[in-house]
């Protein structure tokens, strides 16, 4: 099964993808993670991507598609993929559909997770990460026990793309470029709209019910 998760940055797509991975044995492919890995590994693609990411702007399509295409070649994607963070505009939608045809795949379900922007800003401003091991923290729900990471002792920082000014720009970009995808996939009859406000487990229970109904059809 191939699933696409739509929703603004901070809407909870990553949390739902992790749960889906464990239950269904399908792998999450987050273009955000692919881009951050490219940046941290100082690759040529990563250096270009960082310029856009630091401003909260969309990374060029050809760069993202190259990273995504390479990732889909891995054997762990054979059983299915959860797409998170791509596509983000209509042009990328067409590119993804072409890529899936090449891989003899198709999207089974598109899930749109809806969360008010003011709540998203609060969520992202509270996120922290260890600069050493990458362990995630949240100043509201799961704050670090001290000034440094309890796993490796590394410095706990706020990511550049979680700064409030960048978050607001990311949300503006989403509102302008990504929202049209909702109408696109609704016309295809594979769209599910979900309220992303609430407990992660409750949202996931509702999501899996949709998936089970889809598999029965």
82 φ/ψ angles, rounded to the nearest 5 degrees: -105, 110
Active site residue 50: no
Identify the active-site residue in 36, 71, 123, 170.
170
- Rounded Cα distance between 36 and 33, Å, is 5
Active site residue 88: yes
Q: Where are the alpha helices (DSSP H) in the chain?
A: 13-24, 31-40, 44-53, 61-72, 90-102, 117-125, 164-177, 180-188, 200-216
Query: Which DSSP helix (H) or strand (E) runs through 28?
Result: strand 27-30
Identify the active-site residue in 36, 71, 123, 127.
127
Q: Which residues of 164-195 are buried (b: 16+ CB within 10 A; e: fewer)?
A: eebbeebbebbeebbeebeeebeeeebbbebe
Active site residue 159: yes
Identify the active-site residue in 71, 88, 123, 128.
88
Active site residue 103: no
Identify the active-site residue in 103, 135, 159, 163.
159
Active site residue 199: no
Identify the active-site residue in 13, 50, 71, 123.
13
Tokens of 183: 């109408």
Residues marked active site are found at: 13, 88, 127, 159, 170
């Amino acid at each position: 099964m191939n699933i696409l998760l739509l929703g603004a940055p901070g809407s909870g797509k990553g949390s739902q993808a992790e749960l889906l991975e464990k239950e269904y044995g399908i792998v999450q492919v987050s273009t955000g993670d692919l881009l951050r890995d490219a940046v941290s590994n100082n690759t040529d693609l990563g250096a270009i991507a960082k310029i856009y990411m630091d401003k909260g702007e969309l990374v060029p399509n050809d760069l993202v598609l190259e990273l995504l295409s390479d990732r889909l070649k891995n054997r762990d994607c054979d059983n299915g993929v959860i797409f998170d963070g791509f596509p983000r505009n209509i042009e990328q939608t067409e590119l993804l559909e072409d890529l899936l045809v090449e891989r003899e795949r198709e999207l089974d379900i598109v899930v749109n997770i809806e969360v008010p922007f003011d709540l998203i800003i609060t969520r992202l401003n509270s996120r922290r990460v260890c600069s050493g091991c990458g362990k995630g923290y949240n100043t509201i729900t799961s704050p670090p026990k001290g000034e440094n990471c309890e796993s490796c002792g590394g410095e706990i920082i706020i990511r550049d793309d979680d700064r409030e000014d960048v978050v607001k720009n990311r949300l503006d970009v989403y509102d302008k470029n990504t929202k049209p995808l909702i109408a696109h996939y609704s016309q295809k009859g594979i769209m599910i709209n979900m309220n992303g406000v609430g407990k992660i487990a409750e949202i996931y229970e509702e999501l899996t019910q949709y998936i089970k109904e889809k598999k029965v059809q």
